[in-house]
Structure 1
C-alpha cells in the first residue's frame, strides 16, 4: 500500500543534511575569519592577554580552529558512508577523523580550556570536554583495531556528539542571549557545560535503547 510512512526516513535524512550544512557553513565562516593569520579579529580580540603573554597560544588556537572544521566534516561524511558507494571510504575518512582529533584538535582544545573565558567553571568544563573527546575517539580507534565493531560504532557516536559541541555551544549561546540577556561571563559558564552535556546524554540514551 502506498503510504507516506516509507518516506519519513528519507525526509529526516534530508533535513539532517540541510541542518548540518547550514550550521557547518556558519562554522566555516567563523574559521575563515582567521585566514590569513590575524591575532586581532573576532574571538582573539578578547584573548589579547594570552596572545601577548603566551607565544604558544596562537599556535594551539589556530591548530584547534583549522582542524576542528575538518573533524566536523569528516565525521559527518563517515555517518553518510552508505550513500557514497566508494570502497573503503568509511575506513579512510574515519582514519582522518581519528587522526585529527587524537593528534591535533583535542590536545589543542584541552590546552585552550585552561584559558577559557568565564572563570574556573568554564575552564573545568572545557578541559573535561577535551579529555572526553580524546578518550572516546581513542576508544573508537582501539575497538576498531580489535574488530569490536559494535563498540567502535558506539564510541564513534560519543566522539562525534562531543565534536558537535562546537555547533551546539553556539546555538545555545544565541538562544540564551536572545531570551535572557545575561552577563557575558555568565554566558560562557553556562554554554561551557550546556554545549556538550545534552549531546552526550542523548547519545547514551540512544545507545541504551539500542538505537545505535
Structure 2
C-alpha cells in the first residue's frame, strides 16, 4: 500500500509542477498579444492567415481546462465518492477536446516549425486525440465502462503531450544542444508517442 501511495504522490507532484508551468506559459498570452513568446517566431502565419491567431488562442486556453478536467477523471476518490462530479468533468473534457482543443491543434499543427516531419506528427496527434476521445464518449453512452476507461487513458496520454513535449525539449537541449529545427522534428514525435506506448502497455498488462 505504501508503494502505491508513494507512486500517487510522485505523480501528483510531477503533474502539479508541470501544470503550473503550463498555466504560467498560458498567462503570457493574456491579454492577446501577437508578439509574445512562441508567436514571435510565427509572425508569417499571424500576418498572412487571419484564422491563425484566434485558433491558436483557442488551443492554448482550452488545453489548460482539458488537462485539469482530464486529470480528475482518474482519481478513484472522486470516482467513488462523487460520481456526478466525475461525470460532469468528463463531459467537460470531451466537449473541450472535440470542439476546441483537438481541431485547433490539428490546424496549428499543420503550420508547425520543423517541416513536413513535425507537421505530420502534430496532425496525427490531433486526429488520434479527437478519435480516442470520441470513442470514449460513444462507449460510456453504451455503458461499456472498461473499454471507455481504456480510451480515456489513451486520450489523456495524448492530452499530456503538452507537458511531455516541453520536458523532452529541455532534456534534448541540455544534453545534446541540437539545432532548433532538429529539436522541433524530434519533440514533435517524442511528445506523444512514448505516452501512448506506455498507456498501451499498461492496458495490455491490465495494470490500469
If the length of structure 1 is used for normalisation, what is the TM-score? 0.95
CA RMSD in angstroms, aligned pairs only: 1.0
Superposed CA offset, 1:146-200 (max 9, x none): 1111000000000000001000000000000001101100000000001000000
Determine if contact 1:67/1:100 at 8 Å carries over to the other structure: yes
Determine if contact 1:81/1:89 at 8 Å carries over to the other structure: no
Displacement after TM superposition at 1:98 (Å): 0.5
Match of 1:160 among 131, 136, 156: 156
1:50 and 2:81 are equivalent in the alignment = no
Displacement after TM superposition at 1:87 (Å): 4.2
Matches within 5 A, 1:59-70: 59-70=54-65
Q: Which runs of 5+ in 2 are unaligned?
A: none
Whole-Å separation in 1 of the counterparts to 2:10 and 2:180:
32
Displacement after TM superposition at 1:86 (Å): 2.6
Matches within 5 A, 1:18-29: 18-29=13-24
Compare CA radii of gyration and give the structure with the larger one: 1
1:7 and 2:2 are equivalent in the alignment = yes
Match of 1:150 in 2: 146
1:198 and 2:194 are equivalent in the alignment = yes
Matches within 5 A, 1:1-212: 6-83=1-78, 85-212=81-208
State the SS of the aligned residue for 1:110: helix
State the SS of the aligned residue for 1:115: coil
Total equivalences in the alignment: 207
Determine if contact 1:51/1:57 at 8 Å carries over to the other structure: yes
| 14-23 or 59-68, which deviates more | 14-23
Whole-Å separation in 2 of the counterparts to 1:196 and 1:19:
17
Determine if contact 1:118/1:189 at 8 Å carries over to the other structure: yes
Q: Which runs of 5+ in 1 are unaligned?
A: 1-5
If the length of structure 2 is used for normalisation, what is the TM-score? 0.97
